[in-house]
Homo-oligomer: A and B are copies of this chain.
Amino acid sequence: MLSNEIITRVHAIIKDKDRVLADEGDRYCYAYDASFGVHVPDLVVQPMCTEEVARLMKLANEHRIPMYPRGRGTSLSGGPLPVEGGIVLDLSRWNQTLVIDEEDLVAIVSPGVITATINEKANQYGLMYPPDPSSAHVSTIGGNLAENAGGPRGLKYGVTKDYVLGLEVVTPEGEVIRTGGKTVKNVTGYDLTKLIVGSEGTLGIITEATLRLIPKPVATKTAMVIFDDLVDAGRAISHVLTSGILPSKMEIMDQSCVVAVENYQPSGLPTDIEALLLIEIDGHPAALEYEIEVVKQACHEVGAREVRVAQTKEEESDLWQARKLVSPAIVQHKPTKISEDATVPRSKIPDMFRKLKEIRETYHVDLVVFGHAGDGNLHPNIIADVRDREEMKRVEQAVEAIFKAAVELGGTLSGEHGIGTMKAPFMEMELGKIGLDMMKRMKSVWDPNNICNPGKIFPKPNQRFTLTHD
């Protein structure tokens, strides 16, 4: 618990009383995110300017208070969970700055801005902010930056990190630094910008970002491709990509996903199939006519049963709506969804599908697969009931097996969700002892008192993977 002296000092920094939440009910609202575990913070504060954050961090550093930055809490890896108590820095109210600089092709944003609004505002200028995590309409850019969020467009356009030119950051010791700038090219010293993006709030608090925008493609075209064999769908991905076309999105849904979506909200998807690919290409209409034919041919060459090209904007949005419904649809069956994001090199997608099938059978778990197949970033999801202890033990074993399979295939634990608390025990498996140690050195020298999102990324001694916290 925080002393009265500390709370008085917090109030001296945040003058506005309704931005300091000490009530137990309020604090409980900050004990969760979209992953597992419940951790109630000692206090919640809602800073709305850099100076407030800097003064809070100085105070916290002096008194070794754990500080947990948070946006809208959509993390699937426990990113904002206050696992060691302390103070949650709720940055979601600090959403006032969203400036589009048309000439420099950049957006300047405060941390609480909702991600999708950046792209919407950029669109008004004929520009685009490409990163599109599925939670974009709910999540804040601050959270996206901390976790280096991805999304379907990652295939062609890359992830959040690829669009960050500069940051304002409050260091764990409460100092304000500016990294990068407004230019696309910058090699002045170490790249702190790209280090901090994706560091999960463990190296400082992001208080402003300068984001790169690009001209918005004038048109899109979407094809739905149906496969009788899941492994053929995997082969189709590489085959399309080596045919000279770089689609803007390339999503996969396995049979269980398709069936779940059809049960949830029927839209005429074929359910007697093993997999379905949704492929979007973007660019100039004249080029799209040609490119969609190349995509069609490539898919047929590896055994697609059918390729349906959406003929109107409505048909196109219906197809993408089906993809969006996967998450709500699959939880109709059982209440607990464990969403993984193990990522493999593209050529290993068929192998990964085989391994996931084995895992499903070995552990008798409800495992469905969808995700951003074009960049190897699958989302194996296990549907379970957290109240069923026996089932959850099997789920834990299955998740561990998924991580191992991905790393064995030359992939990674996490493509876009982050490590947080849950995946920390597996870090050494992927990075090796020395690789992990080099990261720890950076953390210790930037945050000597370990106050910035402590308990994340780095495993504690003997920490084991759990979904149930028994």
Contacts and interface: CB of A to CB of B under 8 A. Distances in A.
Contacts of A161: 191, 194
A189 B431 contact: yes
A414 B186 contact: yes
Interface in A432-448: 432, 434-436, 438-439, 441-446
A198 B192 contact: no
Interface in A138-192: 147-148, 150, 154-155, 158-159, 161-162, 171, 175-179, 181-192
A343 interface: yes
A419 B187 contact: yes
A442 B439 contact: no
A58 interface: no
Interface string A198-216: 1100010000000000111
A284 interface: yes
A439 B181 contact: no
Contacts of A286: 284, 286-287, 289-290
Interface stretch (A4-12, A96-104, A322-330): A96-104
Count of identical protomers in the assembly: 2
A246 B213 CA distance: 11
A414 B410 CA distance: 35
Contact of A418 (B102, B179, B187, B195): B187
Interface in A323-367: 343-347
A2 interface: no
Interface string A305-323: 0000000000000000000
Shortest Cβ-Cβ A-B pairs, 6 listed: A284-B287, A286-B286, A103-B347, A185-B415, A182-B345, A194-B194
